[in-house]
């Protein structure tokens, strides 16, 4: 009975959305591929018609990336809200692999830009200038996913999802809450529950929109797995009572065989032509939900919202149609990379690292030096004492981990670097990693270890992995003698949607490259983040300070799987 009603509602949703008007653009999801979950977006009419989206970053830094587009197809990284250690010093010592910053909401009000996240507020005057973002303003709440809203008198409110827990087989304390707030100080009034959702687990990710005399409340329910869905309620009064949309959910791929799953955590945006769009998160996993290393990505669908009615949203697929968009001319500010572009980095001297490169928590600045005098056009890495798992797979302390990476953004890809590394102490290691979190990563490194027969220290390849699911056994292979004096080429590639190839060999002699491990990507298909491809250096808890030099950093994206 439930399935019949669900399918009927879904078919009605599709029909009403498509019938509402002509579609004359095509685009492909995900619009922000790779680790870009929990999107929140606005349309900036007074910035020459730019769409601007913020997404979650968790422990990665810089945090809360901002992407901008004029045509909804080409998206440029224009900055990060969290870009300085002093903004949020506590990020240095978060004690969970998926802690940090998540579920941002971005809004503009009276010329100021606000980003609320769990559980801090950032205020900025120019979203294209990282320096304009304030230090974090903290506020108190027993929950997450906050979103601001202002009434006609300028009074600010925060709507958020109350922390949920499960006891005796039932979800308890689940609700969407609302409170008056002073966003400049973080002071909040009494939190009041305004809606309990439709019965799905963990109502969260709320936003409020004022339209046609109603307050429309959107929320995510069902958890962020394959049961994820977007629901809506409305009320004439901000404080309720809220009436649920009889056609809920307004967006979901639950109970389908679609490749795009976990669709939810949505935000609605009206463009300069008066048309509506829905941004949401999704994973490209199929209902099996086993292989999705890029994690939760940002997807887009056209929406219809007639006066006095409930909105309808097109179902999320890979190939989509949408409303006509007439992008205005002009350059999008910022020096960041457009999403989906390749890398070919040579690390010029005195320049900052490219904006799309990311660390795990705050980097120790001295550990990363572009083009040191003795090694031009390289990136010098000084090793961290901790390796990528660190203390317990969750905590790393304030000393940091030497890791620099970029997001996987294609199903099929090749990531490769040249490594110049001459360790002198046992345990010193440098290499490449497919890194999801401290407790989920696959690494191929060059490490100094005792030789099996002589016991003398010698260079070895080492592949090892960490995950909550089964991983390959650690592999240790001596480097061929002829390779030990020169530079090495290390590579991670994907030739299908389920496995990664880890390869190494002498730099400049590709024909001699060896595949050292073929590993399933299931161990790095987990949780709330998405895969980072990068390089690391560590002493594995021992003394040591030998630098590693990285050059000819390349990322090539070959293909996106859309179904």
- Residue 15, sorted as left (phi over 0), alpha (psi -120 to 50) or beta, turns out to be alpha
| CA nearest to 31, candidates 262, 317, 393 | 317
The DSSP bridge partners found for residue 181 are 156, 188
Residue found by looking up tokens 């090749």 in the block: 414
Distance CA 221, CA 229 (A): 5
CA distance linking residue 459 with residue 457, whole number of Å: 7
Judge whether 263 and 279 are in contact, CB under 8 Å: no
Burial 166-187 (b: 16+ CB within 10 A, else e): eeeeebeebbbbbbebebeebe
Contact 283, 36 (CB under 8 A): no
Catalytic residue among 38, 145, 204, 258: 204
Structure-block tokens of residue 83: 């870009």
Radius of gyration of the chain (CA): 24
- From CA 13, how far away is CA 314, in angstroms rounded? 7
DSSP 135: P
**Number of Cβ atoms within 10 Å of the Cβ of 21:** 12
What is the rounded CA–CA span in Å between residue 514 and residue 374?
Answer: 30
Is 204 a residue of the active site?
yes
- Contact 220/205 with Cβ under 8 angstroms? yes
Beta-strand runs (E) in 70-203? 76-82, 105-109, 112-117, 120-124, 137-138, 143-150, 156-162, 165-167, 170-172, 176-182, 187-188, 192-195
Residue reference for tokens 């029909």: 15
| Those residues with Cβ within 8 angstroms of residue 394's Cβ, 6 or more apart along the chain or in another chain | 95, 96, 97, 438, 439
Query: Considering only CA atoms, which of 300, 277, 332, 338 is closest in space to residue 49?
Result: 332
Structure tokens at 24: 């004359």
Q: Which residue has the tokens 């960041």?
A: 336
Q: Are the beta carbons of 551 and 417 closer than 8 angstroms?
A: yes
d(Cα 66, Cα 55) in Å, to the nearest integer?
A: 7
Cβ pair 262, 299 in contact under 8 A? no
DSSP 353: P
Neighbours of 461 (CB within 10 A): 24
Residues recognised as catalytic: 48, 204
């Amino acid at each position: 009975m439930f399935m019949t009603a669900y399918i009927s509602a879904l078919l009605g949703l599709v029909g009403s959305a498509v019938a509402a008007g002509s579609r004359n653009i095509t685009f492909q999801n995900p619009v922000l591929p790779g680790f870009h979950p929990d999107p929140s977006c606005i349309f900036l009419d007074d910035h020459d018609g730019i769409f601007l989206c913020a997404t979650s970053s968790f422990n990665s830094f810089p945090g809360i990336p901002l992407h901008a587009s004029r045509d909804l197809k080409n998206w440029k990284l224009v900055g990060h809200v969290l870009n300085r250690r002093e903004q949020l010093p506590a990020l240095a010592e978060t004690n969970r692999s998926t802690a940090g910053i998540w579920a941002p909401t971005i809004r503009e009000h009276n010329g100021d830009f606000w980003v609320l996240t769990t559980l801090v507020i950032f205020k900025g005057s120019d979203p294209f200038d990282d320096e304009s973002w304030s230090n974090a303003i903290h506020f108190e709440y027993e929950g997450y996913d906050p979103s601001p809203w202002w009434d006609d008198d300028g009074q600010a409110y925060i709507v958020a999802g109350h922390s949920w827990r499960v006891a005796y087989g039932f979800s308890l304390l689940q609700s969407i809450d609302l409170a008056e707030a002073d966003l400049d100080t973080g002071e909040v009034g009494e939190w009041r529950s305004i809606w309990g959702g439709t019965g799905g687990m963990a109502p969260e990710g709320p936003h409020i929109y004022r339209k046609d005399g109603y307050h429309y409340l959107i929320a995510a329910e069902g958890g962020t797995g394959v049961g994820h869905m977007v629901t809506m309620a409305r009320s004439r009064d901000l404080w309720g009572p809220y009436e649920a949309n009889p056609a809920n959910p307004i967006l979901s791929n639950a109970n389908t065989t679609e490749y795009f799953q976990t669709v939810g955590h949505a935000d609605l945006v009206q463009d300069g032509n008066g048309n509506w769009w829905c941004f949401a998160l999704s994973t490209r996993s199929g209902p099996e939900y086993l292989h999705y290393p890029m994690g939760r990505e940002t997807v887009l669908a056209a929406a219809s919202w007639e006066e006095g009615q409930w909105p309808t949203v097109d179902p999320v697929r890979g190939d989509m149609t949408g409303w006509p968009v007439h992008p205005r001319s002009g350059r999008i500010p910022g020096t960041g990379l457009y999403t989906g572009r390749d890398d070919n980095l040579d690390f010029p001297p005195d320049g900052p690292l490219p904006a799309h490169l990311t660390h795990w928590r705050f980097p120790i600045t001295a550990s990363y030096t572009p083009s040191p005098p003795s090694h031009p056009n390289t990136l010098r890495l000084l090793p961290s004492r901790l390796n990528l798992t660190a203390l317990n797979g969750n905590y790393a302390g304030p000393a940091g981990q030497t890791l620099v990476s970029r997001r996987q953004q294609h199903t099929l890809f090749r990531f490769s670097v040249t490594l110049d590394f001459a360790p002198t102490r046992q345990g010193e290691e440098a290499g490449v990693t497919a890194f999801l979190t401290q407790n989920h990563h696959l690494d191929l490194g060059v490490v100094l270890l005792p030789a099996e027969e002589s016991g003398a220290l010698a260079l070895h390849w080492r592949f090892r992995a960490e995950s909550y699911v089964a991983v390959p056994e650690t592999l240790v292979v001596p480097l061929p003698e002829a390779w030990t004096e020169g530079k090495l080429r290390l590579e991670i590639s994907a030739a299908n949607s389920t496995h990664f190839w880890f390869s190494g060999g002498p730099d400049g002699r590709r024909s001699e490259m060896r595949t050292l491990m073929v590993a399933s990507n299931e161990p790095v298909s987990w949780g709330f983040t998405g895969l980072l491809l990068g390089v690391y250096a560590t002493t594995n808890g021992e003394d040591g300070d030998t630098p590693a030099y990285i050059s000819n950093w390349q990322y090539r994206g070959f293909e996106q799987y859309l179904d």
